[in-house]
Amino acid sequence: MTANPASVRSEMAELSARRNQLYGIICRDPTPIEIELLAGAGYHAIWLDLEHGSISLLEAGKLCRLITSLGMIAVVRVPEISRHQVQSVLDAGCEIVVAPNVCTAAEARDLVRLGKYPPAGERGVSSSTARTGYTLGSDVEATLRAVNAVTYLMVQIESDEGLANLDEILDVEGVDMLTVGPLDWSVAVGLYGASAQEGLREKVEDVFKRAAKAGKTTAMIVRNKDEATRYIELGVQLIFVGLDVALKRQAFVDAIRRVGDG
C-alpha cells in the first residue's frame, strides 16, 4: 500500500462543501455504540474533550478512527499545548485540535509549531499515522504537505486577555479555526448563572465578528434554537448542540418521569 497525497481526506472540507451549517456534540464520556448512534442521528462532528473528560489518549485515538470511518469530523480538545498532547492526537487520526484558553499570539504560534509539519511547523514525522493510511508513500514531502492542508488548528478564547490579544492571535498563520469558552470566561470575571450569558454577550459577539472578518472558521456550543440562530447570523459554521453527559442525564430523568410517580 502506498500513500497517495490526493487520498488524504478531510471530512471537514468535504462536509463544509456540501452544507453551510455543521452540527456536532461535545463528548466527555463516549462509547463506540454512542458514536455509532450519533452518526446515525445525523451529527457531523464529535468533539472529544480531554481537558475536562476522563478520555485517555489511547481511547481518543480509537474513537477518532471510528468517528472518521463513520464520515464525521474528529475534533479533540487537548488539556494543554504540548508536544505530547498535540502530536499524539494528530498521529491517532484527529482532524481538528482545539487548544483551550489561548491568551496570546505566542501560545497560538506554539499550537501551529506542534500541529504542522515543516516548513509550516515542527511536528514530528511518523511513518505510520492514521491520516496517511499508516504509510508516507514514495513522495514524503507531498504527503506531509497534503496532511498539513487538512489538519485544522482551533484556538479557544476564554478570557479578557485573549480578547485583548485577539487580533494578534488571528494573525498567526496556521490558526484555522476559533471558538469561545463562555463558562470559564464568565466565572473569571465574576459572572454566574443567567447573568453570565448577557454579561459576556457583547464580548463574545465581538470575537466572532472579528474572526469572521479574518476569514477563520468558527464553532460554538449552544443551548437552544435561538442561540443557534444568533451565532449562525454571526457566521458560526460549526454548531455544537450540547454535552453528552448533560444530555444523557436529562434523558435518564425524562425516562423515569414517563413511567414513574416521582
Q: Is 52 a catalytic residue?
A: yes
Q: Distance (Å, rounded) from C-alpha 158 to C-alpha 102? A: 7
Q: Evaluate the CA torsion angle 191, 193, 199, 204 in order and state its sign.
A: positive
Q: Distance (Å, rounded) from C-alpha 9 to C-alpha 21? A: 20
DSSP output for 16-65: HHH-S-EEEEEESS--HHHHHHHHHHT--EEEEETTTS---HHHHHHHHH
With 0-12 / 13-18 / 19 or more C-beta atoms within 10 angstroms meaning exposed / middle / buried, residue 17 is exposed
Considering 9, 19, 52, 209, which one is annotated as catalytic?
52
DSSP output for 145-208: HHHHHT-EEEEEE-SHHHHHTHHHHHTSTT--EEEE-HHHHHHHTT--THHHHHHHHHHHHHHH
How many helices, marked H, and strands, marked E, lie in the chain?
12, 8
Q: Evaluate the CA torsion angle 221, 23, 69, 38 in order and state its sign.
A: positive
Q: Which residues are CB-neighbours of 164 under 8 A, at least 6 positions away?
A: none
Active-site residues, by number, are 52
